[in-house]
């Protein structure tokens, strides 16, 4: 154990909650939010290790993760809006066929 | 008990409760607001970890821009009420199985983190992480990833426009 271990353990706990959210929720928007929670907990681990080793590279990775998350949210929400237009639902159990 | 540890424990409890609130909320708007609370507590944790610029970015980009997009889409679709189908899934064994697998993952991750990544460097130096140092890194060693990220964002913009365009 050292000074950043609590942060890393909190990050692992938040990641686990995100995983359980993805596995149990059926609403596509909530699954997306759980993915954001997982990305965020990974960011927390990056920043904690950057603090532990005294190097900025971990913080740089957090920047790129945030940019990728923004791009992912824009495209993902566009997909959800498009699916909602044709299916009138955001429940992932309703999306069981490949043909739209 | 140092003051830092007390602040950390309080923030950790708030962020875990917010995450569980996201997990159990019956209303998508409330779930999004719980997630914003979680992001805000993580931003304060960034401040404690000597990353002030990241904390500001976290609040403005994550809790600001991204979550506003989420709330906008939820309200646009009128999908804030999570229907009864959400509760009575056909696979009843799925929820306990997911919780069990999640607990297993947590134990694994905790074990690996504690046993393999707990050694500190010989002389950990305090990092300076102001906007200037971040900028020097971003436009120095990380220039190529930075440019690739800008292309990625452009592709995301075009993709979102193409996907939501009315035929």
Separation of alpha carbons B22 and B33, rounded Å: 8
Q: Cα angle vertex B134, ends B131, B140, to 5°?
A: 135
Cβ atoms of B127 and A51 within 8 Å: the answer is yes
The number of beta carbons lying within 10 Å of the beta carbon of residue B165 is: 9
pLDDT at B110: 84
pLDDT at B16: 94
Is the same domain home to B68 and B135? no
What distance in Å separates residue B21's CA from the closest CA in chain A? 10
Nearest Cα residue to B121 out of A62, A55, A60, A45: A55
pLDDT at B17: 94
pLDDT at A33: 92
Contacts of A28 (CB under 8 A, 6+ apart): A80, A83, A90, A91, A92, A95
Q: How confident is the model at residue B78 (pLDDT cuts 50, 70, 90)?
A: confident
What are the mean pLDDT values of chain A's consecutive 10-residue runs (100 residues total)?
A: 81 92 88 93 92 87 92 91 84 74
- In order of their start, the domains of chain A are 5-91 (1.10.287.3510)
Q: Count of domains in chain B?
A: 2
Indicate the pTM of the whole model.
Answer: 0.89
Q: Considering only CB atoms, which chain B residues are within 8 Å of A6?
A: 5, 8, 12
Is the same domain home to B3 and B78? yes
What distance in Å separates residue A98's CA from the closest CA in chain B? 17
Q: Is B77's Cβ below 8 Å from some Cβ in A?
A: yes
Q: Write out pLDDT tens, residues B87-123.
A: 555 667 878 888 898 899 888 888 887 787 767 666 6
Does a structural domain hold residue B97?
A: no
User: Residue B16: which CATH number?
Assistant: 1.20.120.1200
Q: A 34-53 residues with CB below 8 A of B?
A: 34, 36-37, 40, 43-44, 47-53
Is the same domain home to B11 and B67? yes
What distance in Å separates residue A55's CA from the closest CA in chain B? 6
The answer on pLDDT for B124 being more than 80 is no
Is the same domain home to B143 and B77? no
* Pick from B54, B79, B94: CB nearest A47: B54
pLDDT at B83: 59
Whole-Å CA distances, B23 to A18, A32, A67, B127: 8, 12, 25, 35
* Mean pLDDT confidence for B56-77: 90
Instruction: Test B61 with A75 for CB contact under 8 angstroms.
Output: no
- Boundaries of domain holding B137: 130-167
pLDDT at B88: 53
pLDDT at B114: 78
Whole-Å CA distances, A14 to A25, B75, B117: 16, 26, 18
């Amino acid at each position: 154990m050292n000074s950043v271990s609590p942060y890393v353990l909190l990050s692992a706990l938040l990641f686990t909650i995100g995983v359980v959210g993805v596995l149990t929720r059926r609403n596509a928007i909530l699954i997306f939010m759980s993915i954001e929670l997982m990305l965020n907990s990974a960011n927390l681990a990056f920043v904690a290790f950057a603090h532990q080793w005294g190097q900025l590279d971990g913080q740089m990775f957090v920047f790129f993760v945030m940019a990728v998350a923004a791009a992912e949210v824009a495209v993902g929400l566009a997909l959800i809006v498009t699916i909602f237009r044709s299916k009138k639902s955001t429940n992932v159990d309703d999306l069981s066929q490949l043909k739209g | 008990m140092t003051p830092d540890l007390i602040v950390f424990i309080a923030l950790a409890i708030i962020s875990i409760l917010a995450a569980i609130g996201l997990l159990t909320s019956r209303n998508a708007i409330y779930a999004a607001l719980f997630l914003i609370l979680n992001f805000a507590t993580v931003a304060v944790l960034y401040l404690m970890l000597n990353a002030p610029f990241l904390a500001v970015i976290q609040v403005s980009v994550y809790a600001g821009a991204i979550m506003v997009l989420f709330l906008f889409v939820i309200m646009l679709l009128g999908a804030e009420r999570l229907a009864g189908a959400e509760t009575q899934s056909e696979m009843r064994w799925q929820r306990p199985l997911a919780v069990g697998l999640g607990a297993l993952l947590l134990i694994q991750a905790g074990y690996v983190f504690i046993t393999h990544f707990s050694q500190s460097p010989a002389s950990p130096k305090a990092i300076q992480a102001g906007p200037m140092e971040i900028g020097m890194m971003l436009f120095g060693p990380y220039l190529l990833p930075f440019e690739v990220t800008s292309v990625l964002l452009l592709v995301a913009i075009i993709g979102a426009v193409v996907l939501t365009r009315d035929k």
